[in-house]
Chain A
Amino acid sequence: EDQVTQSPEALRLQEGESSSLNCSYTVSGLRGLFWYRQDPGKGPEFLFTLYSAGEEKEKERLKATLTKKESFLHITAPKPEDSATYLCAVHLPPQGGSQGNLIFGKGTKLSVKP
C-alpha cells in the first residue's frame, strides 16, 4: 500500500533555531514529491516539487531535499511567521483507469516562538 509518513507530528522551535522535517514514503512509482504550507483555516500553498533523488530546492529559509525513500524540509533560522503546518505529498502515476493523484501525509505542525 502506498504510504506517506511525516515526522514529527508537531515541532516547537525558538526563533533562529534551525531544524528539519521528515517525509518518508513507500510508493510503487513516484512522479514527484510536493511540499505545501498550510495556515489554519486555509488551503495548502505550494512550496516545492522534487522529481529525483539528490535534487534540492530552496526558497527563503526553506530547503527541500529528496532521497529514494524520504524528503527533508530544512528550516534555517526560522521566524514566527514560518509557523504553519507543512504537508508532504507524493504524486503517483496513473494505474488502470485511475488518474494519477497526490497522496498526502498528515503534516507537521511547526510553531516558532519569538
Chain B
Amino acid sequence: SQTIHQWPATLVQPVGSPLSLECTVEGTSNPNLYWYRQAAGRGLQLLFYSVGIGQISSEVPQNLSASRPQDRQFILSSKKLLLSDSGFYLCALEEGPEGGAWGYGYTFGSGTRLTVV
C-alpha cells in the first residue's frame, strides 16, 4: 500500500530564514505529487504539483519553490521565510496513470506545522 512520509512534524523558524520540507513516498511509482497549505479558517490551497522528476508546476505565485529530484521525493523550499508563510503544509500523492484509477483520491502525509516568528 502507498505510504507518504513528511518531516519534520513541527517547525518554528525566524523570519528571513530558509526552509526545506521533505516528502517521500513508498509503495508506488511515478505518482503525481502535490504540496498543499492549510491556514487557519481557510481551505486547503494547492501550492505546487509534479507529474514527474524535475517537472514542477506552481499554482500560486509566492515566496516558495518546489523540486522533485527523485521519483518518490518532493521538496518544498524557501530562501527567506515571511510571517505569512506560517501554516500547515501537506504533501499528497496520486497514483500515476499506470497505477490505476485516480478516483481513489489523494493520499496525504501527516503534515508539517510551520510557525514563522
Contacts and interface: CB of A to CB of B under 8 A. Distances in A.
Interface string A17-60: 00000000000000110101000011111100101000000000
B105 A43 contact: no
Interface stretch (A61-69, A75-83, A100-108): A100-108
A87 interface: yes
B111 A99 contact: no
Contacts of B59: 98, 101
A13 interface: no
Interface residues of B, number: 25
A9 to B, nearest CB: 9
A43 B90 contact: yes
A104 B57 CA distance: 19
B32 A106 contact: no
Size band of the interface chain A makes with B: 20 to 34
B109 interface: yes
A110 interface: no
A42 B110 CA distance: 5
B107 A46 contact: yes
Contact of B108 (A45, A91, A107): A45
A27 B110 CA distance: 29
B39 to A, nearest CB: 10
Interface in B1-31: 6
B108 A102 contact: no
A96 B108 CA distance: 26
A41 B111 contact: yes
A97 B104 CA distance: 24
B44 A46 contact: no
B104 A46 contact: yes
Contacts of B113: 41
A84 interface: no
B54 to A, nearest CB: 15
Given A32-B103, A36-B105, A89-B44, 5 more contacts: A43-B108, A46-B104, A87-B43, A101-B34, A105-B43
- A-B pairs, 3 with minimum CB distance: A43-B108, A46-B105, A104-B44
Interface of A: 4, 31-32, 34, 36, 41-46, 49, 51, 87, 89, 91, 97-99, 101-107
